Structure 1
Amino acid sequence: MKKSTAIFFICLMFVLGGCQSGGMQESDSASIAPGGEMQSDSSSSASSVEKSAEMKTADNQDNANAPKSEESQAEEGSESTEQMIIHEAQVEAEVKSYDEGAKWILERVSAVKGYVVNQSTTQEEDDGKSGTLNIRIPESSFQSFLDQLKGSSELSVLNQSVTGQDVTEEYVDLESRLAAKEAVEKRLYQFMENAKGTEDLLTVSNDLERVQEEIESMKGRMNYLKTRSDMSNISLSLKEDALPGVTTTKLNTWERTQQEFMSSVNGLLSFGSTLIIFLAGRSPIFLLIAAIAGAAYYLFKKRFRKESPKV
Structure 2
Amino acid sequence: MKNALVYFSLLFFAVSCKDAAAEAPSKVVMMDMAAPVTEEAAPAMEVAASAEAIVVNSPQKTSETKIIKTGNLRFESSDLESSFQTIQKSVTKHKAIIQNDNSGKDDYSVYRNFTIRIPNQDFDAFISEISQGVSHFDRKEISQQDVTEEFIDIEARMNAKKKLEARYLQLLTKANKVSEMLEIEKQLAEIREEIEAKEGQLKYMQSQVSMSTVSIEMYTNNASQSGITVSYGGKIWNEIKSGFNGLSSFLLGIIGVWPFIIIFVLLFIFIKRRFKKKTE
Give the counterpart of 1:242 among 216, 219, 222.
222
Report 1:22-37 matches (<5 A).
Answer: 28-29=8-9, 31-37=11-17
Q: CA deviation at 1:157?
A: 4.0
Q: CA deviation at 1:69?
A: 7.8
The answer to whether the 8 Å contact 1:66/1:183 transfers is no
Q: CA deviation at 1:160?
A: 1.1
For 2:12 and 2:23, locate their aligned partners in 1 and report how far apart those are by CA, in whole Å: 17
Give the counterpart of 2:78 among 79, 90, 96.
96
Report 1:136-155 matches (<5 A).
Answer: 136-152=117-133
User: Which residue number in structure 2 is paired with residue 135 of structure 1?
Assistant: 116
Q: 1:188 to 1:24 in 2, by over 3 A?
A: same
- Please state whether the residue corresponding to 1:89 is helix, strand or coil: strand
Q: CA deviation at 1:101?
A: 2.2
Report 1:194-213 matches (<5 A).
Answer: 194-213=174-193
Q: Does 1:79 align with 2:45?
A: no
Q: 1:64 to 1:123 in 2, by over 3 A?
A: closer
Gaps of 5+ in 2: 33-40, 228-280
Q: Which amino acid aligns with 1:63?
A: A
**Aligned-residue CA RMSD (Å):** 3.3
Q: 1:43 to 1:68 in 2, by over 3 A?
A: farther
Q: CA deviation at 1:112?
A: 0.9
Q: 1:49 to 1:194 in 2, by over 3 A?
A: closer
Gaps of 5+ in 1: 1-19, 248-311
For 2:46 and 2:173, locate their aligned partners in 1 and report how far apart those are by CA, in whole Å: 21
Number of aligned residue pairs: 216
Question: Normalising by the residue count of structure 2, what TM-score does the alignment of the two structures yield?
Answer: 0.65
- Please state whether the residue corresponding to 2:57 is helix, strand or coil: helix
Q: CA deviation at 1:59?
A: 7.5
Q: 1:221 to 1:64 in 2, by over 3 A?
A: closer
The answer to whether the 8 Å contact 2:76/2:219 transfers is yes
For 1:93 and 1:47, locate their aligned partners in 2 and report how far apart those are by CA, in whole Å: 75
The answer to whether the 8 Å contact 2:50/2:164 transfers is no
Q: CA deviation at 1:115?
A: 0.8
Q: 1:50 to 1:172 in 2, by over 3 A?
A: farther
Moved more, 63-72 or 116-125: 63-72
